[in-house]
Copies of this chain bind each other. A is one copy, B any other.
């Protein structure tokens, strides 16, 4: 994982986007998908991921459902309709921000 500090502010967007793609995901699954897609360049930590998920839940953007799989409790997170709208908006904001950054850094 190259840049640890750059993840600041983007964790929320990552989570919203992945949950908008999948009907439901559990925490560990989210970290593994990010790791897989980025060839280990971005590795989410649980200490950052769970507070983010809990905050999204508190905001009413996602709901949870606990299921027992292989004798282990697994907690699934899925976006509400408000969560899906927010996801679309925040992904757009992220790309707008990257465009703005390009204007600053391209010289």
CB < 8 Å: which of B13, B21, B104 contacts A42?
Answer: B104
Q: Is A37 an interface residue (CB 8 A)?
A: yes
Interface code A1-23, partner B: CB below 8 Å = 1, 0 otherwise?
01101111110111001100100
CB < 8 Å: which of B2, B5, B18, B103 contacts A9?
Answer: B5
Majority secondary structure of chain A interface residues (helix, strand, loop or mixed): helix
Alpha-carbon separation in the docked complex, A101 to B103 (Å) = 18
| Cβ–Cβ < 8 Å partners of A13 in chain B | 105
* Chain A positions near chain B (C-beta within 8 angstroms): 2-3, 5-10, 12-14, 17-18, 21, 34, 37-39, 41-42, 91, 93-94, 96-98, 100-101, 103-105, 107
